Amino acid sequence: MNNIQEKYNNLKEYLKSLGSVAVAFSSGVDSTFLLKTAQEVLGDQVVAVTARSCSFPERELKEAMDFTKNHGIEHIIVDSEELDIEGFSQNPVNRCYLCKSELFTKIRQVAAEKGLKEVIEGSNMDDMGDYRPGLEAIRELEIKSPLRYADLNKDEIRQLSKEMGLPTWEKQSFACLSSRFPYGESITPEKLKMVDEAEQLLLDLGFRQVRVRHHDTLARIEVAEAEIEKIMERETRYRIHEELKKIGFTYVALDMMGYRTGSMNETLK
């Protein structure tokens, strides 16, 4: 038995031991894999819960709804507007902690109403190396993290997802739109809409892994290293510049280091 299969078996045994679960479901690579595996192990003792907010693009919500419908999984959508949380819109360094505390408290309420024993979420071993205050909220609320329990990393989750025939196996990584702002810069619905529209443009142009970081009047674009040559083509550059100015940015810049997770954390000491 290879190591990845052993980890997968451990994951299934762990999920079986939980009995019944509410799964925090964002339609991303990790939560989709976790949800489908939980369904295979626990059947109808699984409920997917997705948070609807202005920092969660409609395209992601639609994918979540389509997946649960296609796989016969009960799906509950809760309104979880981060901007209503005291202090969140000022974008403090513990912004993610504030958000996760509020979100998982609501998912716990859903689990209680449904008679489900546990709440689980999809962080994996690759999430352990960066500044992620949201994990502290998960620990405090005693939310289970099965993928970390099974010692699975992102590449392994993608590989297993491919073997399971999940459409998300090669989906780009995504984080909530609030992560596109430097700490201390206020977050508003209007700014979130600008980021969402800018990233949607890049996705529509065929770029797979994108981030548009919002620096006041400047948009700092991150794309995967393999796509930097493509974005530097004259026609593409002019199109992006023109469209982002229409969205509301004054300046448009390309990050020379390309896409990387947590680039806003580089300002932290």
Per-residue pLDDT of 160-215, as tens digits, reads 999 999 999 999 988 899 999 999 999 999 999 999 999 999 999 999 999 999 99
Q: pLDDT digit string (tens) for 45-74?
A: 999 999 999 899 999 999 999 999 999 999
Q: In this structure, are residues 119 and 24 in contact, taking their beta carbons and an 8 Å threshold?
A: yes
Domain stop point among 170, 195, 212: 170
The pTM assigned to this predicted structure is 0.91
Domain stop point among 144, 170, 196: 170
Please check the confidence at residue 82 and state whether its pLDDT lies above 90: no
Check residue 127 and give its pLDDT: 86
Active site residue 176: yes
Please check the confidence at residue 124 and state whether its pLDDT lies above 70: yes
Q: What is the mean pLDDT of residues 21-38?
A: 97
Check residue 130 and give its pLDDT: 65
Q: What sign has the CA pseudo-torsion 254, 257, 261, 266?
A: negative
Q: In this structure, are residues 231 and 254 in contact, taking their beta carbons and an 8 Å threshold?
A: yes
Q: Tokens 């019944």 identify what position?
A: 20
Q: pLDDT digit string (tens) for 131-166?
A: 678 889 999 999 999 999 999 999 999 999 999 999
C-alpha to C-alpha distances, 255 to 34, 228, 248, nearest whole angstrom: 33, 9, 19
145 plus 17 within the same structural domain: yes
CB atoms within 10 A of CB 1: 7
Q: Give the domain range for residue 233.
A: 177-267
Domain stop point among 150, 170, 190: 170
185 plus 162 within the same structural domain: no
Q: How many structural domains does the chain have? A: 2
CATH number of the domain at 52, please.
3.40.50.620
